[in-house]
Amino acid sequence: MRSVQDVRELLDRLDEVEADALEAQDLDFKRWDGRSLSDMRRTLIDVAVCMANGGGGTVVLGVADRVIGRRAAILGVPPEIDTNTLVREIYANTDPRLTPDFEELSVPEGTGRLLLMQVRGPMRPYTDSAGRGSIRIDKSCEPLTGSARRDLLMASGQADYSAQPAEATWSDLSPSALEALRRAARAERSPEDLLTLSDRDLIDRLGLAPNGRLTIAALLLAGTPEAIARNVSGYGWTHLRMRNATEYSDRADGGEALPVALIRLLDRVMADNPIATVQQGLYHFEYRAYPELALREALLNALCHADYQRGAPIIVKQYPQRLEISNPGGLVGDITPENILHHPPAPRNPMLVNALVQLRLVNRSNLGVSRMFKAFLLEGKPPPAIEERGESVTVTFLRHEFSEPFRRFAQEESEAGRDLDVDQLLVLQHLLTHPEIDTSTAARLCQRGEALARETLNAMETERGYLERGGAGGRGSYWTLRADLHRRLGGSGDPDRQRRISLEAAKTRILSLLQERAARGEPGLTNEDLRRITHLDRSQVVRLMRELRAAHPELRAPGRGRGAQHRWVPAGTTE
């Protein structure tokens, strides 16, 4: 949910961008339709259902989303509109019942009044009273199709394919799969009293055979390949050693239970996973191209979060310079590649995942993705890339050189009681290849809100001493990696000098262009033009132009709106 203050700060940006550009999964802007109150109520019901199915969020009423400029965009909500009436209308026309909260935001434009409709969705899926519904995906409302409803039910625990009864008897359990399960759990220090149970008692204790009947989850964890094939059509895995995008040199397929499949897949991947040996003091440490911890987490995620109703295998493609792990079924609920790093867990197969949690093979707090990221980042390597490709999820590991200086630094910090978390590692890795970072970039990189990203940057500056702050403060602040730390971590050149040269070159180029355009009687340059010319981001361009205007009075600041331009006006010229 966005607070009134959060929205107030966003409204200040309407002179530069349309409200549509500010929208997000949990934020929508709506113009108030004063021509028909009944049509507006219908719109509110639809958007409340959409937002609730998307996980909840804030709808700002009274703002046109395709207009630049505060005065033009903020139209407001009529003062006679009663929010209690709106709540009753939405409540009466949704199923399950929705009761959004409304907050008022006073503004100087339009009617002087905006409404924030705060929507929560703990009982998804929702529809209107006629059974119609939609779901918010990114910034739009998409139809609530059958598969979308199924995913919502799975995310809420109301539907679980893995909990369905299997057509199997206790003789369909595989002793070798059960032993592989015990070995894996013992390596993770699962409770010994659990692991010493008989096969049947272990399945019972894990909750995989309610009323004495085996479930799909029981077979996936401990069934024979034949029993799994009878019950889970299309289940299996494929590993390919790829020569290029279309040809492979070696292939293996399997249909064993998950713990055996995990062992076989790990063995095949590790056969082509080179080792780098690093000496630290009297010891030699070995580091793989793909960290084994990250491999295990990615493969387990693929195996336990696959959509086994789609009849498609888990596919692992091992290229010369990358590894791709794909599982059938998109991300569940409102999880996206842009929020997966810190999103609360939403298992597709709750019964299966719950059994793995008891065995300590997966973590209930959704730490698997963070562990994957951290395993790569600690070795100075880029983190995995996670993306949805149609109806599947793919995790990509890049084969990258191990960084001894970075790993040594991380180890020394840990020994000093200053463990690096994933957010800090992401910031450090970014600053080894970029001269600076601002709050919005850190928020996107760490998949955090700007407030938390700013806290991370501040702590890395004031508590850890890794960073130095620049800029005018507030939104104009940026951070750079301390020069000595940049050298220690294996960075090349002087980052401060590189940044100064880059900014000075950009200033020189912009001034030259503006002067040339003024001499030819041509228009000036917009902020968008400047970003394209300099390859700087929005905040960097704003800061750069502020410095230029301070040094060159002939440079005129732009007005408001997307087309507003910076212009060069020669001394003595009247406007």
- Output the domain CATH number for residue 453: 1.10.10.10
Asked if residue 131 and residue 255 are part of one domain, the reply reads no
Asked if residue 128 and residue 78 are part of one domain, the reply reads yes
Pairing of strands 275-280, 283-288: antiparallel
The amino acid sitting at 347 is P
Asked if residue 263 and residue 371 are part of one domain, the reply reads yes
Residue 560 makes CB contacts below 8 A (sequence gap 6+) with 15, 68, 69, 70
How many domains does the chain contain in total? 4
Within a domain: residue 16? yes
Query: Tell me, what CATH number does 504's domain have?
Result: 1.10.10
Q: What is the pLDDT of residue 343?
A: 85
- DSSP-H helix ranges across 321-434: 350-358, 368-377, 404-415, 422-431
The span from the CA of 384 to the CA of 376, in Å, is: 8
Within a domain: residue 164? no
Asked if residue 488 and residue 380 are part of one domain, the reply reads no
Q: What is the pLDDT of residue 506?
A: 78
Last residue of a domain, one of 94, 126, 144: 144
Q: What is the pLDDT of residue 157?
A: 47
Among 80, 83, 118, 112, smallest CA distance to 98 is for 118
Buried b (16+ CB within 10 A) or exposed e, 302-314: bbbbbbbbeebbb
| pTM exceeds cut of 0.85 | no
For the record, the structure tokens of 103 come out as 């907050």
Within a domain: residue 229? no
Query: Tell me, what CATH number does 307's domain have?
Result: 3.30.565.60
Q: What is the pLDDT of residue 555?
A: 83
CB neighbourhood size of 535 (10 A): 9
Asked if residue 75 and residue 99 are part of one domain, the reply reads yes
C-alpha distances (whole Å) from 41 to each of 52, 98, 179, 312, 372 are 16, 14, 60, 44, 46
Last residue of a domain, one of 439, 469, 493: 493
Asked if residue 486 and residue 433 are part of one domain, the reply reads yes
Asked if residue 280 and residue 373 are part of one domain, the reply reads yes
Within a domain: residue 38? yes
CB neighbourhood size of 571 (10 A): 6
Residue range of the domain that includes 312? 237-341+364-398
- One digit per residue, the tens of pLDDT, for the chain of length 575 reads 899 999 999 999 999 899 999 999 999 999 999 889 999 999 999 999 999 998 899 999 999 988 999 999 999 999 999 999 999 999 999 998 999 999 999 999 999 999 999 998 766 789 999 999 999 988 899 998 877 776 666 655 456 889 999 999 999 999 999 999 999 999 999 999 999 999 999 999 999 999 999 999 999 999 999 999 999 988 999 999 999 999 999 999 999 999 999 999 999 999 999 887 776 666 667 788 999 999 999 999 999 999 998 889 999 999 999 999 999 988 876 788 999 998 887 778 989 999 999 999 987 656 789 999 999 999 999 999 999 987 899 999 999 888 889 999 999 999 999 999 999 999 999 999 888 888 989 999 999 998 999 999 999 999 999 999 876 566 667 888 998 899 899 876 555 545 555 677 778 878 888 888 888 888 888 888 887 777 677 777 887 888 888 888 888 777 665 667 877 776 555 55
The span from the CA of 566 to the CA of 23, in Å, is: 27
Asked if residue 473 and residue 429 are part of one domain, the reply reads yes
The span from the CA of 417 to the CA of 439, in Å, is: 26
Q: What is the pLDDT of residue 532?
A: 77
Say if residues 227 and 168 touch (Cβ distance below 8 Å). yes
Last residue of a domain, one of 493, 510, 545: 493
Q: What is the pLDDT of residue 5?
A: 92
Asked if residue 423 and residue 525 are part of one domain, the reply reads no
Query: Tell me, what CATH number does 63's domain have?
Result: 3.30.950.30
Within a domain: residue 60? yes
Asked if residue 250 and residue 134 are part of one domain, the reply reads no
Asked if residue 385 and residue 428 are part of one domain, the reply reads no
Say if residues 404 and 278 touch (Cβ distance below 8 Å). yes
Among 254, 253, 263, 239, smallest CA distance to 182 is for 263
Paired residues of 389 in beta bridges: 392
For the record, the structure tokens of 97 come out as 């019942």
Asked if residue 380 and residue 263 are part of one domain, the reply reads yes
C-alpha distances (whole Å) from 147 to each of 338, 346, 558 are 22, 16, 49
